[in-house]
Amino acid sequence: MGMSEVATRAKRMQHFIFSVDRNGLLWLTDFRHPHLNRAMEVASRMGDWDAWTATLLGFLVPIGPFKATRRRAARAALPRILLALGICFAVKKVARRARPSVAVEGFSTLLSDPDPYSFPSSHAATSWAAYLGIANELGGLAWLLTVPAVLTSYSRLHVGAHYPLDVLIGTGIGVTIGLT
Cα-to-chain-centroid distance, residue 164 = 10
- 3-class secondary structure, 117: strand
Task: Say which amino acid occupies 68.
Answer: A
Q: How sure is the predictor about 77, in pLDDT bands with cuts at 50, 70 and 90?
A: confident
Phi, psi of 98 (to 5 degrees): -65, 145
Q: Is pLDDT at 169 greater than 80 in this prediction?
A: yes
Q: Distance (Å, rounded) from C-alpha 117 to C-alpha 62?
A: 38
pTM of the complete model: 0.84
| Alpha helices (H) along the chain | 3-29, 34-45, 49-60, 67-95, 100-103, 122-138, 146-158, 164-178
CB-CB contact of 113 with 101 (8 Å): yes
Domain 3-178, CATH number (from 3.40.50.720, 1.10.606.20, 1.10.3720.10, 3.90.10.10)? 1.10.606.20
Q: How sure is the predictor about 55, in pLDDT bands with cuts at 50, 70 and 90?
A: confident
Q: How sure is the predictor about 87, in pLDDT bands with cuts at 50, 70 and 90?
A: very high
Q: Distance (Å, rounded) from C-alpha 72 to C-alpha 82?
A: 16
**Average pLDDT value for residue range 55-76:** 75
What pLDDT does residue 62 have? 66
